[in-house]
Chains A and B, each alone.
Chain A
Amino acid sequence: MTYAWVALYSIRRHAAYPTSAIAEAVTNTVFGIVHASILIALWKARPGLGGYDTTDAITFTFLAQALIAPIQVFGGLELTERIRTGDVAIDLHRPVDLQSWWLADDLGRAGCHLLLRSTLPMAVAVVMFPIRWTGPTALGLALVSLLLAVLVSFGFRYVVALCMFWLHDDRGLAAIALVTSMFFSGMILPLVVFPGWLGAIAQVLPWAGTMQIPIDVYLGKATGIGLLTAYGRQVGWAVALFLLGRGLTVLAGRRLVINGG
């Protein structure tokens, strides 16, 4: 199947510079240590904040740092550059679906990043801090949630990338996407710390499904109905973003035809 091949090729591409990946992982680790220390102090002042204990908070921090790469919290899809240069016109004439192609590519990338960039932060975390181990079942459920998270993240980034068709300069939009993604995914601060209505809104936004939800599933904070709700939110947003992306792809194709490529 073509798409499986695309994903495999993507893995190879992203594994080409392992030293760079390890270097980035070092920075993720350092940030993890800093964030964790801050949250320890916060939880000392407010034990049990948001239903987490200190170990939960530390575990959350490092998992969040570990997931930065696979989820691409800092945004970006190579597609944007192809749209900017106009190379995408070639892609749209090929007999493969643009959205599916890039999804396969992104899944390959996510898998590669999971291996290359997530292991170091977690390894250091386990050595330096108390980290919660919730067992293989929770881990398995969390991995499913992680897959959904990548889908949600891709859905969002794909939509942002396609907007490039209608904008001359995407950097403003990219910045907005970056800010919302960083803030509402839980990377800056676990969403459970967000007070009142802000916290409630944050939990239902799409970005919560990229980091907060999979980590909560792992920590065992989403069980039974909660688990179904969690998966439901992720699937719901993934589908919505995919449909939006689909629509934009069709519009983009038409626009290309009108403008002559």
Chain B
Amino acid sequence: MAELLRTYARLAWTWSRAAAQYPVSLVLLGVATAAVTSLDIAAIGLMFLRTPRIAGFSVAEVMFLYGTSGLSFILSDILMGGAERLDEHVRKGTLDALLVRPVSPLLQLATEDFSPRRFGKLVPTTLVFALALAHVPVRWTAPRIAMVPVMVLTGLVIFAAFWVLTTALQFVLVESRGATKSVTYGGAFLTQYPLSVFSRDIVRGLTFMVPLAFVNWEPSLYVLDKPDPLGLPGAFRFAGPVVAVVLCALAGPAWKSGLRHYRSTGS
């Protein structure tokens, strides 16, 4: 495991050094990515200019959701998002070059094109999150305070697992990326909002089928002390880490299975 992390770090660093040779481009792109990320919070801001509460949540509370979701997703995107481009490699036949190297192709994909500009997205999100923490009406107890980093971390792992799972699907169905973006990017978007805006069926789906509800919604119900619209038992609010572990347990074999399929059929 340590070896994996070391290799990841070294590869990421090498890619970053290469990217840093164009500092102007780096900064511009960083700013650009930050700008695109800011569109979502701009929308939230505009909506709350028209009304003080949406689905029973105040602007600070939605910013809290936005912040936790954003941090989890952006960090997972930085770490694992590069894997998404597997379909390009399969199409161009360049996956083979990755397979003749003594490092997992997943790791090589994830670090490909690693650039400091990816961190640009964190800036608006962190600012919004900091603002939210300052204004959100929470009775901060020790458990609640601890829950915040735990939530961000489990959200990160859940999203990372989804990155791997959706990428593994591309081995079998090369065009699936267009649709699985709804899980990764779609998941990132919908977790910015209180899930109470969705129909009960959808929330049930997001809890039991595609467990995005555990990224930040369930834990936030605890931190913000809100009632669960589905009336689920309180234990669900702490189930995030369990869900994360289960998803990882699924993601590993899924990836291996996909790779096995590719190595058997040659595509």
A41 vs B197: C-alpha distance in the bound complex, in angstroms?
A: 6
Contacts A23-B176, A38-B193, A171-B25: A188 and B32 contacting too (C-beta < 8 A)? no
> Does the CB pair B177–A179 fall under 8 Å?
no
Q: Which of B47-55, B102-110, B246-254 contacts A (4 or more CB under 8 A)?
A: B47-55
A45 within 8 Å of B by Cβ? yes
Fill in one digit per residue for B18-30: 1 if any A CB lies within 8 Å of its CB, else 0.
Answer: 0000100100110
> Does the CB pair B47–A175 fall under 8 Å?
no
Contact check: which of B35, B40, B177, B197 meets A175 at CB < 8 Å? B35
A24 vs B87: C-alpha distance in the bound complex, in angstroms?
A: 14
A27 within 8 Å of B by Cβ? yes
Residue of B nearest to A174 (CB): B32
Task: Determine how close the nearest CB of chain A comes to the CB of B50; give it in whole angstroms.
Answer: 5
> Does the CB pair A24–B178 fall under 8 Å?
yes
- A-side contacts of B181, CB under 8 Å: 24, 27
> Does the CB pair B179–A26 fall under 8 Å?
yes
Q: Which of B69-77, B157-165, B182-190 contacts A (4 or more CB under 8 A)?
A: B182-190
- Residues from 61 to 78 in A contacting B, C-beta threshold 8 Å: none
> Does the CB pair B189–A37 fall under 8 Å?
no
**Residue among A23, A31, A40 with the highest chain B CB neighbour number at 10 A:** A23
- A-side contacts of B42, CB under 8 Å: 183, 188
> Does the CB pair A27–B186 fall under 8 Å?
yes
A123 within 8 Å of B by Cβ? no
Contact check: which of A21, A31, A182 meets B189 at CB < 8 Å? A31
B39 within 8 Å of A by Cβ? yes
A189 within 8 Å of B by Cβ? yes
> Does the CB pair A171–B47 fall under 8 Å?
no
A166 within 8 Å of B by Cβ? no
- B-side contacts of A22, CB under 8 Å: 178-179
> Does the CB pair B179–A188 fall under 8 Å?
no
Residue of B nearest to A26 (CB): B179
Task: Determine how close the nearest CB of chain B comes to the CB of A51; give it in whole angstroms.
Answer: 13
> Does the CB pair A17–B175 fall under 8 Å?
yes
Contact check: which of A31, A46, A179, A195 meets B36 at CB < 8 Å? A179
Contact check: which of A31, A40, A182, A189 meets B47 at CB < 8 Å? A189
B199 within 8 Å of A by Cβ? yes
A169 vs B175: C-alpha distance in the bound complex, in angstroms?
A: 29
> Does the CB pair A30–B50 fall under 8 Å?
no
Give the interface size class of chain A.
Answer: 35 or more
Contact check: which of B28, B178, B196, B197 meets A172 at CB < 8 Å? B28
> Does the CB pair B175–A20 fall under 8 Å?
yes
Residue of B nearest to A49 (CB): B50
> Does the CB pair A37–B177 fall under 8 Å?
no
A34 vs B186: C-alpha distance in the bound complex, in angstroms?
A: 8
> Does the CB pair A37–B36 fall under 8 Å?
no
- B-side contacts of A44, CB under 8 Å: 55
> Does the CB pair A188–B182 fall under 8 Å?
no
> Does the CB pair A194–B186 fall under 8 Å?
no
- A-side contacts of B53, CB under 8 Å: 45
- Residues from 167 to 189 in A contacting B, C-beta threshold 8 Å: 169, 171-172, 174-176, 178-179, 182-183, 188-189
Residue of B nearest to A172 (CB): B28
Contact check: which of B46, B55, B176, B182 meets A193 at CB < 8 Å? B46
A33 within 8 Å of B by Cβ? yes
> Does the CB pair B197–A27 fall under 8 Å?
no
> Does the CB pair A37–B179 fall under 8 Å?
no
> Does the CB pair B177–A34 fall under 8 Å?
no
Contacts A33-B202, A37-B202, A179-B35: A171 and B29 contacting too (C-beta < 8 A)? yes
Contacts A20-B175, A171-B32 aside, 6 further interface pairs with beta carbons under 8 A come to A29-B182, A41-B54, A169-B25, A171-B25, A172-B28, A198-B46
10 closest residue pairs by CB, A with B: A175-B32, A23-B178, A30-B182, A23-B179, A24-B178, A172-B28, A41-B197, A26-B179, A45-B51, A27-B182
Measuring CB to CB, which residues of chain B are less than 8 angstroms from any residue of chain A? 22, 25, 28-29, 31-33, 35-36, 39-40, 42-43, 46-47, 49-51, 53-55, 175-179, 181-182, 185-186, 189-190, 193, 196-199, 202
Measuring CB to CB, which residues of chain A are less than 8 angstroms from any residue of chain B? 17, 19-24, 26-27, 29-31, 33-34, 37-38, 40-42, 44-46, 49, 169, 171-172, 174-176, 178-179, 182-183, 188-189, 193-195, 198
Q: List 26 A-B contacts (CB under 8 A).
A: A19-B175, A22-B178, A24-B178, A24-B181, A26-B179, A27-B182, A27-B186, A34-B193, A38-B54, A38-B193, A40-B197, A41-B197, A42-B54, A45-B51, A49-B50, A172-B32, A174-B32, A175-B32, A176-B35, A178-B36, A188-B40, A188-B42, A189-B43, A193-B50, A195-B46, A195-B50
